[in-house]
A = this chain, B = another copy of it.
Amino acid sequence: MTRYSYLSHLECARCGHVHDATVAQGLCRRCASPLLARYDLDALKREVPRSSLRDRSWELWRYHELLPSSAASNEVKLGEVVTPLLKMARHGADLGLQELWIKDESATPTSTFKARGAAVGVSRAAELGWTQIAMPTNGNAGAAWAAYAARAGLRALIAMPEDAPRITRAECLTAGAEVHLVDGVISDAGAMIADAVSRGDWVDVATLKEPYRIEGKKTMGLEIVEQLGWTLPDVVVYPTGGGVGLIGIHKAIEELLALGWVEGQMPRFVAVQSSGCAPIVSAFEQGRPDSTFWEDSRTVAFGINVPKALGDFIMLDILYKTGGIAVDVNDDALLEELRILGRHEGLFVCPEGAAAVAATRRLAERGWISPTDRVVVLNTGAGIKYPECVDADLPVLAPGTSIPDSAVHASPTP
Protein backbone atom coordinates (compact mmCIF):
# COMPACT_ATOMS: atom_id res chain seq x y z
CA MET A 1 0.00 0.00 0.00
CA THR A 2 1.37 3.42 -0.87
CA ARG A 3 1.85 6.12 1.72
CA TYR A 4 0.91 9.80 1.32
CA SER A 5 4.36 10.84 2.56
CA TYR A 6 7.47 8.66 2.59
CA LEU A 7 9.12 10.76 5.31
CA SER A 8 11.14 8.37 7.48
CA HIS A 9 13.39 10.36 9.81
CA LEU A 10 15.44 13.52 10.31
CA GLU A 11 19.21 13.55 9.97
CA CYS A 12 21.68 16.15 11.18
CA ALA A 13 23.35 17.84 8.20
CA ARG A 14 26.65 18.06 10.12
CA CYS A 15 27.01 15.08 12.48
CA GLY A 16 24.53 12.69 10.88
CA HIS A 17 22.68 12.00 14.12
CA VAL A 18 19.18 10.61 13.50
CA HIS A 19 16.09 12.25 15.02
CA ASP A 20 12.45 11.19 15.23
CA ALA A 21 10.37 12.88 12.50
CA THR A 22 7.03 12.12 14.10
CA VAL A 23 7.47 14.79 16.76
CA ALA A 24 8.41 18.48 16.54
CA GLN A 25 12.18 19.04 16.23
CA GLY A 26 14.42 22.09 16.00
CA LEU A 27 18.20 21.94 15.61
CA CYS A 28 20.27 18.79 16.24
CA ARG A 29 20.40 18.09 19.96
CA ARG A 30 24.02 16.98 19.67
CA CYS A 31 25.63 19.73 17.58
CA ALA A 32 22.96 22.43 17.08
CA SER A 33 23.10 22.11 13.29
CA PRO A 34 20.13 21.99 10.89
CA LEU A 35 18.22 18.74 10.42
CA LEU A 36 17.36 17.36 6.99
CA ALA A 37 14.22 15.35 6.27
CA ARG A 38 14.93 11.88 4.90
CA TYR A 39 12.48 9.71 2.99
CA ASP A 40 12.16 6.00 2.41
CA LEU A 41 13.26 6.35 -1.20
CA ASP A 42 13.67 2.60 -1.76
CA ALA A 43 10.06 1.93 -0.89
CA LEU A 44 8.89 4.97 -2.88
CA LYS A 45 10.84 3.77 -5.90
CA ARG A 46 9.22 0.34 -5.64
CA GLU A 47 5.70 1.52 -4.91
CA VAL A 48 5.07 4.72 -6.91
CA PRO A 49 5.95 5.22 -10.57
CA ARG A 50 6.72 8.73 -11.78
CA SER A 51 3.76 8.46 -14.13
CA SER A 52 1.36 8.57 -11.20
CA LEU A 53 1.97 12.32 -11.02
CA ARG A 54 0.28 12.79 -14.37
CA ASP A 55 -3.25 13.33 -13.16
CA ARG A 56 -2.42 15.39 -10.12
CA SER A 57 -3.18 19.06 -9.72
CA TRP A 58 -0.51 21.44 -10.95
CA GLU A 59 0.60 22.70 -7.53
CA LEU A 60 3.58 21.88 -5.34
CA TRP A 61 1.60 19.29 -3.39
CA ARG A 62 1.72 17.00 -6.44
CA TYR A 63 5.05 15.82 -5.00
CA HIS A 64 3.45 14.80 -1.70
CA GLU A 65 5.41 11.56 -1.33
CA LEU A 66 8.56 13.69 -1.05
CA LEU A 67 7.00 16.18 1.39
CA PRO A 68 6.38 15.83 5.13
CA SER A 69 2.58 16.25 5.46
CA SER A 70 1.03 12.92 6.32
CA ALA A 71 -2.35 13.64 4.71
CA ALA A 72 -3.78 15.94 2.07
CA SER A 73 -6.23 17.30 4.60
CA ASN A 74 -3.33 18.72 6.64
CA GLU A 75 -1.98 20.82 3.78
CA VAL A 76 -2.46 24.55 4.32
CA LYS A 77 -3.15 26.11 0.95
CA LEU A 78 -3.16 29.59 -0.49
CA GLY A 79 -2.71 28.49 -4.11
CA GLU A 80 0.82 27.07 -4.51
CA VAL A 81 0.86 26.91 -8.29
CA VAL A 82 3.73 25.34 -10.19
CA THR A 83 5.56 28.53 -11.17
CA PRO A 84 6.47 29.31 -14.78
CA LEU A 85 9.79 28.20 -16.25
CA LEU A 86 10.28 30.64 -19.13
CA LYS A 87 12.84 30.54 -21.89
CA MET A 88 14.45 33.93 -22.45
CA ALA A 89 15.44 33.97 -26.11
CA ARG A 90 16.17 37.68 -26.49
CA HIS A 91 18.02 38.08 -23.23
CA GLY A 92 19.80 34.78 -23.75
CA ALA A 93 21.08 36.02 -27.10
CA ASP A 94 22.32 39.16 -25.36
CA LEU A 95 24.29 36.97 -22.93
CA GLY A 96 25.47 34.63 -25.68
CA LEU A 97 23.46 31.73 -24.27
CA GLN A 98 21.22 29.51 -26.37
CA GLU A 99 19.29 28.05 -23.45
CA LEU A 100 18.67 30.61 -20.77
CA TRP A 101 15.65 29.82 -18.62
CA ILE A 102 14.13 31.69 -15.71
CA LYS A 103 12.11 30.07 -12.97
CA ASP A 104 9.77 32.90 -12.00
CA GLU A 105 8.65 32.68 -8.41
CA SER A 106 6.44 35.77 -8.53
CA ALA A 107 3.41 33.57 -9.20
CA THR A 108 3.50 32.17 -5.65
CA PRO A 109 1.23 33.42 -2.86
CA THR A 110 2.83 36.60 -1.37
CA SER A 111 4.79 36.82 -4.66
CA THR A 112 8.07 35.30 -3.50
CA PHE A 113 9.53 31.80 -3.25
CA LYS A 114 9.32 32.14 0.53
CA ALA A 115 5.73 30.92 0.22
CA ARG A 116 6.99 27.42 -0.56
CA GLY A 117 8.86 27.12 2.73
CA ALA A 118 5.93 28.64 4.56
CA ALA A 119 3.32 26.40 2.94
CA VAL A 120 5.14 23.20 3.79
CA GLY A 121 6.59 24.47 7.09
CA VAL A 122 3.28 25.78 8.46
CA SER A 123 1.40 22.69 7.28
CA ARG A 124 3.82 20.46 9.16
CA ALA A 125 3.91 22.76 12.21
CA ALA A 126 0.11 22.65 12.45
CA GLU A 127 0.12 18.88 11.92
CA LEU A 128 2.60 18.45 14.78
CA GLY A 129 0.50 20.61 17.06
CA TRP A 130 2.37 23.90 17.12
CA THR A 131 0.07 26.91 17.56
CA GLN A 132 2.51 29.83 17.88
CA ILE A 133 5.42 30.47 15.55
CA ALA A 134 8.10 33.17 15.77
CA MET A 135 10.80 34.22 13.32
CA PRO A 136 13.23 36.92 12.24
CA THR A 137 13.03 37.90 8.58
CA ASN A 138 14.33 40.22 5.90
CA GLY A 139 10.66 40.74 5.08
CA ASN A 140 9.47 38.25 2.53
CA ALA A 141 9.74 35.13 4.66
CA GLY A 142 7.87 36.87 7.45
CA ALA A 143 5.14 37.93 5.04
CA ALA A 144 4.77 34.37 3.76
CA TRP A 145 4.81 32.67 7.16
CA ALA A 146 2.36 35.23 8.57
CA ALA A 147 -0.03 34.56 5.68
CA TYR A 148 0.10 30.77 6.06
CA ALA A 149 -0.15 31.06 9.84
CA ALA A 150 -3.36 33.07 9.43
CA ARG A 151 -4.74 30.55 6.94
CA ALA A 152 -3.95 27.72 9.40
CA GLY A 153 -5.26 29.61 12.43
CA LEU A 154 -1.83 29.90 14.12
CA ARG A 155 -0.33 32.97 15.78
CA ALA A 156 2.81 34.56 14.33
CA LEU A 157 5.46 36.79 15.96
CA ILE A 158 7.77 38.47 13.44
CA ALA A 159 10.87 40.68 13.86
CA MET A 160 12.47 42.40 10.88
CA PRO A 161 14.97 45.16 10.09
CA GLU A 162 13.43 48.61 9.76
CA ASP A 163 14.91 48.77 6.23
CA ALA A 164 13.20 45.58 5.01
CA PRO A 165 10.86 46.15 2.03
CA ARG A 166 8.03 48.19 3.52
CA ILE A 167 5.34 46.22 1.76
CA THR A 168 6.33 43.10 3.70
CA ARG A 169 5.37 44.83 6.95
CA ALA A 170 1.96 45.58 5.49
CA GLU A 171 1.64 41.93 4.53
CA CYS A 172 2.51 40.70 8.03
CA LEU A 173 0.10 43.17 9.64
CA THR A 174 -2.70 42.33 7.21
CA ALA A 175 -2.30 38.67 8.15
CA GLY A 176 -2.70 39.65 11.80
CA ALA A 177 0.87 38.92 12.89
CA GLU A 178 2.58 40.61 15.84
CA VAL A 179 5.36 42.60 14.11
CA HIS A 180 8.46 44.28 15.57
CA LEU A 181 11.02 46.39 13.74
CA VAL A 182 14.68 46.63 14.64
CA ASP A 183 17.25 49.25 13.68
CA GLY A 184 19.70 46.57 12.53
CA VAL A 185 20.09 43.52 10.29
CA ILE A 186 18.44 40.10 10.33
CA SER A 187 20.86 38.73 12.92
CA ASP A 188 19.69 41.47 15.32
CA ALA A 189 16.09 40.46 14.62
CA GLY A 190 17.12 36.84 15.20
CA ALA A 191 18.53 37.64 18.65
CA MET A 192 15.28 39.39 19.53
CA ILE A 193 13.20 36.41 18.49
CA ALA A 194 15.46 33.93 20.30
CA ASP A 195 14.99 36.00 23.46
CA ALA A 196 11.19 36.14 23.03
CA VAL A 197 11.08 32.39 22.39
CA SER A 198 12.98 31.77 25.63
CA ARG A 199 10.38 33.81 27.52
CA GLY A 200 7.12 32.74 25.91
CA ASP A 201 5.33 29.84 24.38
CA TRP A 202 6.66 30.28 20.82
CA VAL A 203 8.43 27.96 18.43
CA ASP A 204 11.41 29.46 16.60
CA VAL A 205 10.95 28.80 12.88
CA ALA A 206 13.92 30.89 11.71
CA THR A 207 15.78 29.69 8.60
CA LEU A 208 16.85 26.05 9.07
CA LYS A 209 15.92 26.09 12.77
CA GLU A 210 13.07 23.75 11.90
CA PRO A 211 13.52 21.04 9.25
CA TYR A 212 10.56 21.56 6.90
CA ARG A 213 11.03 24.98 5.31
CA ILE A 214 13.75 23.42 3.17
CA GLU A 215 11.31 20.72 2.02
CA GLY A 216 9.06 23.43 0.68
CA LYS A 217 11.93 25.12 -1.15
CA LYS A 218 12.89 21.75 -2.55
CA THR A 219 9.79 21.81 -4.70
CA MET A 220 11.46 24.43 -6.94
CA GLY A 221 13.93 21.73 -7.93
CA LEU A 222 11.23 19.10 -8.42
CA GLU A 223 9.27 21.46 -10.65
CA ILE A 224 12.27 22.51 -12.73
CA VAL A 225 13.15 18.91 -13.52
CA GLU A 226 9.56 18.00 -14.39
CA GLN A 227 9.12 21.19 -16.47
CA LEU A 228 12.28 20.28 -18.41
CA GLY A 229 10.62 16.99 -19.30
CA TRP A 230 12.37 15.03 -16.53
CA THR A 231 15.84 16.12 -17.62
CA LEU A 232 18.48 18.11 -15.74
CA PRO A 233 19.82 21.58 -16.48
CA ASP A 234 23.60 22.03 -16.73
CA VAL A 235 23.79 25.03 -14.42
CA VAL A 236 21.52 26.37 -11.66
CA VAL A 237 22.07 30.01 -10.68
CA TYR A 238 20.68 31.02 -7.31
CA PRO A 239 20.70 34.31 -5.35
CA THR A 240 21.95 33.27 -1.95
CA GLY A 241 21.03 34.72 1.43
CA GLY A 242 20.18 31.96 3.89
CA GLY A 243 20.70 29.57 0.98
CA VAL A 244 17.75 27.32 1.72
CA GLY A 245 16.60 27.40 -1.88
CA LEU A 246 19.99 26.30 -3.18
CA ILE A 247 20.17 23.52 -0.63
CA GLY A 248 16.59 22.55 -1.43
CA ILE A 249 17.03 22.38 -5.19
CA HIS A 250 20.15 20.27 -4.80
CA LYS A 251 18.34 17.98 -2.36
CA ALA A 252 15.43 17.62 -4.80
CA ILE A 253 17.72 16.49 -7.58
CA GLU A 254 19.55 14.06 -5.28
CA GLU A 255 16.23 12.49 -4.37
CA LEU A 256 15.02 12.33 -7.98
CA LEU A 257 18.28 10.69 -9.05
CA ALA A 258 17.97 8.16 -6.24
CA LEU A 259 14.42 7.38 -7.33
CA GLY A 260 15.46 7.04 -10.96
CA TRP A 261 12.84 9.65 -11.90
CA VAL A 262 15.62 11.53 -13.69
CA GLU A 263 19.03 10.48 -14.99
CA GLY A 264 22.22 12.37 -15.76
CA GLN A 265 24.71 14.59 -14.08
CA MET A 266 24.03 16.83 -11.10
CA PRO A 267 24.04 20.46 -12.35
CA ARG A 268 26.78 22.87 -11.32
CA PHE A 269 25.40 25.26 -8.70
CA VAL A 270 26.15 28.98 -8.67
CA ALA A 271 25.64 30.93 -5.43
CA VAL A 272 25.13 34.60 -6.20
CA GLN A 273 25.60 37.29 -3.57
CA SER A 274 25.73 41.06 -3.46
CA SER A 275 29.18 42.65 -3.21
CA GLY A 276 27.84 44.39 -0.10
CA CYS A 277 27.21 41.06 1.66
CA ALA A 278 29.28 38.21 0.26
CA PRO A 279 30.30 35.84 3.05
CA ILE A 280 29.78 32.71 0.91
CA VAL A 281 31.81 34.14 -1.98
CA SER A 282 34.61 35.01 0.41
CA ALA A 283 34.60 31.54 1.97
CA PHE A 284 34.42 29.86 -1.43
CA GLU A 285 37.34 31.84 -2.80
CA GLN A 286 39.40 30.73 0.19
CA GLY A 287 38.24 27.14 -0.09
CA ARG A 288 36.88 27.19 3.45
CA PRO A 289 34.13 24.85 4.69
CA ASP A 290 32.14 27.64 6.35
CA SER A 291 31.72 31.39 6.28
CA THR A 292 32.58 34.30 8.58
CA PHE A 293 30.10 36.95 9.74
CA TRP A 294 30.07 39.82 7.19
CA GLU A 295 30.31 43.16 8.98
CA ASP A 296 28.28 46.22 7.90
CA SER A 297 26.44 44.38 5.16
CA ARG A 298 24.44 46.53 2.77
CA THR A 299 22.64 45.94 -0.56
CA VAL A 300 19.44 46.86 -2.40
CA ALA A 301 18.91 43.12 -2.83
CA PHE A 302 17.56 42.95 0.68
CA GLY A 303 16.64 39.29 0.64
CA ILE A 304 20.29 38.30 0.32
CA ASN A 305 21.51 40.59 3.07
CA VAL A 306 22.40 37.70 5.37
CA PRO A 307 25.78 38.23 7.09
CA LYS A 308 26.10 34.64 8.35
CA ALA A 309 23.88 31.76 7.24
CA LEU A 310 23.25 28.78 9.50
CA GLY A 311 23.47 26.48 6.48
CA ASP A 312 26.67 27.99 5.04
CA PHE A 313 28.59 24.70 5.33
CA ILE A 314 25.89 22.82 3.42
CA MET A 315 25.87 25.39 0.60
CA LEU A 316 29.66 25.47 0.32
CA ASP A 317 29.80 21.70 0.23
CA ILE A 318 27.29 21.73 -2.67
CA LEU A 319 29.36 24.31 -4.57
CA TYR A 320 32.54 22.26 -4.11
CA LYS A 321 31.09 18.90 -4.98
CA THR A 322 29.10 19.97 -8.04
CA GLY A 323 31.99 21.95 -9.56
CA GLY A 324 30.02 25.10 -8.85
CA ILE A 325 31.07 28.61 -7.98
CA ALA A 326 30.15 31.63 -5.84
CA VAL A 327 30.00 35.07 -7.46
CA ASP A 328 29.18 38.53 -6.19
CA VAL A 329 27.57 41.37 -8.13
CA ASN A 330 27.39 44.99 -7.07
CA ASP A 331 24.17 46.95 -6.75
CA ASP A 332 24.75 49.05 -9.87
CA ALA A 333 25.28 45.97 -12.00
CA LEU A 334 22.19 44.19 -10.73
CA LEU A 335 19.96 47.25 -11.14
CA GLU A 336 21.22 47.68 -14.70
CA GLU A 337 20.50 44.01 -15.41
CA LEU A 338 16.98 44.42 -13.99
CA ARG A 339 16.31 47.20 -16.51
CA ILE A 340 17.79 45.41 -19.52
CA LEU A 341 15.93 42.21 -18.73
CA GLY A 342 12.67 44.15 -18.39
CA ARG A 343 13.03 45.62 -21.86
CA HIS A 344 14.08 42.36 -23.43
CA GLU A 345 11.49 40.06 -21.91
CA GLY A 346 8.83 42.13 -20.13
CA LEU A 347 9.78 40.57 -16.80
CA PHE A 348 10.09 42.79 -13.74
CA VAL A 349 12.30 40.68 -11.50
CA CYS A 350 13.27 41.33 -7.90
CA PRO A 351 16.78 42.67 -7.23
CA GLU A 352 17.89 39.26 -5.96
CA GLY A 353 16.76 37.68 -9.23
CA ALA A 354 18.47 40.48 -11.14
CA ALA A 355 21.69 39.70 -9.26
CA ALA A 356 21.46 36.10 -10.40
CA VAL A 357 20.97 37.14 -14.04
CA ALA A 358 23.85 39.62 -13.81
CA ALA A 359 26.10 36.89 -12.40
CA THR A 360 25.06 34.64 -15.28
CA ARG A 361 26.12 37.36 -17.71
CA ARG A 362 29.52 37.59 -16.05
CA LEU A 363 30.03 33.82 -16.00
CA ALA A 364 29.05 33.59 -19.67
CA GLU A 365 31.55 36.35 -20.51
CA ARG A 366 34.28 34.50 -18.65
CA GLY A 367 33.43 31.25 -20.40
CA TRP A 368 32.59 29.52 -17.13
CA ILE A 369 29.13 28.99 -18.65
CA SER A 370 29.34 27.87 -22.27
CA PRO A 371 26.93 29.04 -25.02
CA THR A 372 25.16 25.69 -25.21
CA ASP A 373 24.80 25.07 -21.48
CA ARG A 374 21.21 24.81 -20.36
CA VAL A 375 21.02 27.40 -17.58
CA VAL A 376 18.18 27.86 -15.09
CA VAL A 377 18.24 31.15 -13.16
CA LEU A 378 15.99 31.62 -10.16
CA ASN A 379 13.97 34.82 -9.92
CA THR A 380 12.97 34.51 -6.30
CA GLY A 381 10.16 37.04 -6.36
CA ALA A 382 8.23 39.89 -7.94
CA GLY A 383 9.96 43.18 -8.68
CA ILE A 384 6.81 45.03 -7.63
CA LYS A 385 7.76 44.42 -4.00
CA TYR A 386 10.81 46.68 -4.56
CA PRO A 387 9.49 49.96 -6.02
CA GLU A 388 12.71 51.76 -5.06
CA CYS A 389 14.63 49.78 -7.69
CA VAL A 390 13.08 51.82 -10.51
CA ASP A 391 13.09 55.59 -10.94
CA ALA A 392 9.45 56.37 -11.72
CA ASP A 393 9.50 60.16 -11.52
CA LEU A 394 7.87 61.59 -14.61
CA PRO A 395 6.42 64.98 -15.59
CA VAL A 396 2.65 65.34 -15.16
CA LEU A 397 0.58 66.74 -18.03
CA ALA A 398 -2.63 68.75 -17.65
CA PRO A 399 -5.79 67.18 -19.11
CA GLY A 400 -6.11 68.17 -22.74
CA THR A 401 -2.34 68.44 -23.24
CA SER A 402 -0.99 66.57 -26.26
CA ILE A 403 1.68 63.91 -25.93
CA PRO A 404 4.71 65.52 -27.64
CA ASP A 405 5.43 64.61 -31.25
CA SER A 406 8.88 63.39 -30.23
CA ALA A 407 7.24 60.67 -28.10
CA VAL A 408 4.54 59.82 -30.61
CA HIS A 409 7.15 59.32 -33.31
CA ALA A 410 10.05 58.12 -31.14
CA SER A 411 11.93 54.95 -31.89
CA PRO A 412 11.73 52.19 -29.28
CA THR A 413 13.46 52.79 -25.98
CA PRO A 414 16.63 50.71 -26.24
The interface of chain A, by Cβ under 8 A from chain B, is 54-55, 57-58, 77-79, 81-84, 86, 90, 104, 106-111, 146-151, 153, 155, 157, 159, 162, 166-167, 169-171, 173-184, 188, 191-193, 195-196, 199-200, 202, 338-339, 342-348, 382-385, 387, 389-392, 394-403, 405, 407-410, 412-413
Contacts and interface: CB of A to CB of B under 8 A. Distances in A.
A154 to B, nearest CB: 9
Contact of A182 (B57, B342, B396): B396
Nearest to A385: B384
Contacts of A193: 403
Complex A-B, nearest 10 residue pairs according to Cβ-Cβ distance, in ascending order: A79-B84, A150-B346, A58-B58, A174-B342, A176-B343, A151-B346, A147-B346, A170-B390, A184-B399, A188-B399
**Identical chains bound together, number:** 2
Contacts of A58: 57-58, 81-82
A157 B408 CA distance: 8
A196 B166 contact: no
A295 to B, nearest CB: 14
Nearest to A174: B342
A347 B78 contact: yes
Contacts of A384: 110-111, 167, 170-171, 382, 384-385
A408 B384 CA distance: 32
B173 A392 contact: yes
A149 B83 CA distance: 21
A202 B410 CA distance: 11
Contact of A196 (B81, B83, B104, B403): B403
Given A86-B79, A174-B338, A183 B399 contact: yes
Nearest to A398: B183
A339 to B, nearest CB: 7
Contacts of A178: 407, 410, 413
Given A107-B108, A166-B387, A183-B398, 4 more contacts: A79-B107, A81-B81, A175-B342, A200-B409
A110 B407 CA distance: 25
Contacts of A383: 170-171, 174
Contacts of A405: 199
Contacts of A153: 90
A403 B178 CA distance: 10
A343 B175 contact: yes
Contacts of A109: 84, 106-107
Q: Which of A55, A58, A174, A398 has the most CB of B within 10 A?
A: A174
A22 to B, nearest CB: 27
Nearest to A85: B79
A191 B399 contact: yes
A125 to B, nearest CB: 14
Contacts of A149: 346
Contact of A107 (B107, B182, B345, B348): B107
Contacts of A157: 403, 407-408
Contacts of A412: 155, 176
A298 to B, nearest CB: 16
Given A106-B111, A408-B157, A408-B202, A397 B180 contact: yes
Nearest to A159: B403
A150 B345 contact: yes
Contacts of A159: 403
A175 B169 CA distance: 27
Nearest to A88: B151
Contacts of A181: 394-397
Given A181-B397, A382-B111, A192 B82 contact: no
Contact of A399 (B57, B182, B382, B399): B182
Nearest to A185: B399
Contacts of A54: 55
A157 B184 CA distance: 42
